A and B are shown apart, each in its own frame.
Chain A
């Protein structure tokens, strides 16, 4: 893959583009672009890190309103096992991941990551996953989508505010870097996993980042300068997100783990920004009342730490469908709240993989069924409202989906399907 043209891009955009390209040459270009950046180092004591792989929130920074600030740069490295899982392979994976933890602080400035496994990975074991883990094969969730599915074995999600770090970490794991932030790379994933190159996915999130992509034909100039997401609004409001506790599997051998689903989608931004007006966008993204009462501000800044979906606004979804002819995306999805609590912890990010705007909608939930319920509520087929006015349905086109188990840290290296089973059956 060729490197992006430095002269035609802003520095920030160039770094983003390097993350998308990946590999050793992108890394060296990135390093030369990022010289003198001091990346905080990690820890030699793995036990000092949280028992949950997905315990990011306490380590990440927060904005003025208390919302978690996700790292700016993301890579999803799709992995395929070379040989069947073995104790030797487990040791190598664990050692490799501990090198990342020694090299980088568990933070925005350093690196946070998870390693998750697909149903296809667990299929190789005689044992089934315990009943406490709900990890079905991915499937289409609406009539209008026909995604391909993640059928490889695992995905490594790397996230950092520093593009150099996500690139370097990946390079180190696959023999393309000898040293990570001063830590020698003694063991990598090479030999255990190979990368599924055409499934490597990248992205970014942060105020102003989407507007740096207006050179793409799919990203109109009219996207707000400060928008953190391509759709033009903030997301991930603290009070609209599930807590890490809520999405954590409580019981069984994978207690302390979580499930992850990733739906990748194309976004139609030219219609969204060039045809719909701000009132219509607010109506379709949040609710008609959000638009009428001007609750949102230009990009969601007026919402501070909540998407302002009161019980009344959620309950009025059906009424809005009838009497307004339109419902908001957030409004109808919030119908899937359980006892008033959001069931999903979103860690989604923008992408320009494929040179067109998209979203890798990554969510964590205790079980995949929770995501399916939210998606059903978000689809809103029960509302009888015109497709174009049914939230943002007309603007998103799901292309890919994967379901994963993110085990607790103690089982993150090639876990068997039933770690407490009587008989270790992985080498059958």
Chain B
């Protein structure tokens, strides 16, 4: 199994192309010798963790974090309808959310309880459509070493990070070096699925993978942390999505500037794997590439059909925002495949403002008003569609041009956050839209 380093695509801010931003400041350096093949020794007592600087007074919005984490990618595994790509990094802080609309204690920064171990992640997707599945019905992870279970089972958190997009992850303590086997049990998906995903993911599936936890791993993932220049920390903006290995020939360091039309969506991972394969050879088979691991970017706004609802207040962004999340809201023509009969389908697709990462596990509702009277008031159902990906939708029988549509965020996305996302998508005021005339 081959490790793939993420190529060091230039961090690009929302405004202005900046070069030379990345300060490579791996605090431990990289051990190029990599001749350590110990598999049984205990880990060092005091692993030196890469620095995790706090950003002072970050905005209540998506902001540029202090660094980009490095990781090892393992070979994707198929399990039933699911495809899963495991990834490993060093244990690092993240934020978990229980509520999040402002209550004291609802969001908690989680520092690793010990540095011995890994930050275990996986991306879960449907290989037929490339749609990343951004919801959890109750995954269970069991870790084994030499046939013995290590620690209790756990459910990985659903998480969003700027570089990784939506993924599952957690810090998993490991006390010893060695080869570990991981079983990921995936229950049937309980979220509504439509289009090509309808009727899929109805069976429990178990994916199994192995990895070596040793000094070479540590050196690899720690040695390649990339710190940004301090002047950019906390600025509004985001890291680019990480490269899963498929961008080698693009060469276009395009900005993920906004949630609009300037790039080619999440199916652009079609390049060749011609970049540096990295300096860490763990002796495994080297015949796999990861070109096909998707990043969880939603389609750009112009990929959605129907009538785009217009914000009442003219925003300075292409899509209206709430809590710094961009909201695409469109009204499908009557009789679409997403409704019964002749109804129209209201599709609301909240996403991160730069990388179009889906914001799952929100509670949204829509109110339709005409001449000051409420004509409809409905919950929007979280749905994953093979074409339109994660969204919240409702069938509407009576909606007309000129109607006012209010999208109310009853609760914000209940997903754990990596640095740069933990202050956004929390307090989310309603979004006021109208159905355009003609």
Binding site for B on A (CB under 8 A): 142-144, 146, 217-218, 220, 266-271, 274-280, 283-284, 288, 291-292, 321-326, 356-357, 381, 384-389, 393-395, 397
Contact = CB atoms under 8 A, between A and B. Distances in A.
B54 interface: no
Contacts of B363: 321-323, 325, 384
B105 A279 contact: yes
B161 interface: no
Contacts of A280: 96, 98, 105-106, 108
B99 A283 contact: yes
Interface in B136-169: 136-140, 149-155, 157-158
Interface stretch (B20-28, B272-280, B407-415): B407-415
Given A292-B103, A386-B415, A326 B98 contact: yes
Given A279-B106, A386-B415, A397-B140, A356 B98 contact: no
A143 B170 contact: no
B76 interface: no
A271 B98 contact: no
Interface string B344-365: 0000000000000000111100
B104 interface: yes
A324 B99 contact: yes
Given A325-B361, A325-B412, A387-B136, A284 B98 contact: yes
A270 B173 contact: yes
A115 B204 CA distance: 36
B86 interface: no
Secondary structure of the B contact surface, majority rule: loop
B152 A266 contact: yes
A387 B138 contact: yes
Contacts, number: 135
A275 B108 contact: yes
Contact of A291 (B105, B155, B185, B412): B105
Contacts of B157: 388
B382 interface: yes
Contacts of A394: 138, 154-155
Contacts of B361: 325, 385-386, 389
B170 A397 contact: no
Contacts of B15: none
A385 B414 contact: yes
Contacts of A288: 99, 103
B190 A389 contact: no
Nearest to A395: B155
B96 A144 contact: no
A144 B138 contact: yes
Contact of B140 (A144, A269, A284): A144
Given A146-B185, A356-B149, A397-B152, 11 more contacts: A143-B188, A268-B153, A268-B154, A270-B151, A271-B154, A274-B113, A280-B96, A284-B98, A325-B362, A326-B98, A385-B414
Interface string B85-119: 00000000000111111011110101001000000
A67 B362 CA distance: 39
Contact of B152 (A267, A292, A323): A267
A383 B363 CA distance: 11
In this complex, which of A275, A278, A322 has the most chain B Cβ atoms within 10 angstroms of its Cβ?
A275
B113 A270 contact: yes
A322 B380 CA distance: 11
A389 B157 CA distance: 10
Contact of B137 (A144, A267, A275, A279): A144
A220 B151 CA distance: 11
Given A271-B170, A324-B411, A386-B136, A143 B158 contact: no
B414 A388 contact: yes
Contact of A323 (B110, B153, B410): B410
Contacts of B151: 217-218, 270, 356
Contact of A275 (B96, B104, B135): B96
A284 B155 CA distance: 15
A357 B136 contact: no
A291 B360 CA distance: 24
Q: Give 8 closest A-B pairs by Cβ, nearest first.
A: A279-B105, A325-B411, A144-B138, A386-B361, A386-B414, A144-B187, A394-B155, A280-B98
B175 interface: yes
A389 B98 contact: yes
Contact of B190 (A146, A321, A381): A381
Contact of A386 (B110, B158, B379): B158
B99 A326 contact: yes
A143 B137 contact: yes
Contacts of B412: 325
Nearest to A356: B152
27 contacts: A143-B187, A144-B140, A146-B204, A217-B150, A268-B153, A270-B154, A274-B110, A275-B108, A275-B110, A278-B105, A283-B99, A292-B103, A323-B410, A324-B101, A325-B97, A325-B99, A325-B362, A325-B412, A326-B99, A356-B149, A386-B158, A388-B157, A389-B414, A394-B138, A394-B154, A395-B155, A397-B153
In this complex, which of A143, A269, A356, A381 has the most chain B Cβ atoms within 10 angstroms of its Cβ?
A143
Contacts of A325: 97-101, 361-363, 411-412, 414
B104 A279 contact: yes
Given A322-B411, A323-B411, A393-B138, A268 B155 contact: yes
A212 B105 CA distance: 28
Contacts of A218: 151-152
Nearest to A140: B204
Interface string B251-263: 0000000000000
A183 B139 CA distance: 52
Interface in B186-236: 187-188, 190, 204
A392 to B, nearest CB: 11
A388 B99 contact: no
Given A144-B140, A325-B361, A276 B153 contact: no
Contacts of B204: 143-144, 146
A270 B104 CA distance: 22
A291 B185 CA distance: 31
Contacts of A381: 190
A319 B155 CA distance: 25
Contacts of A284: 98
A403 B98 CA distance: 35
A385 B361 CA distance: 7
A54 B119 CA distance: 47
A55 to B, nearest CB: 35
A252 to B, nearest CB: 38
Contacts of A385: 361, 414
A275 B154 CA distance: 12
A330 to B, nearest CB: 15
A348 B22 CA distance: 55
A266 B153 contact: yes
Nearest to A146: B204
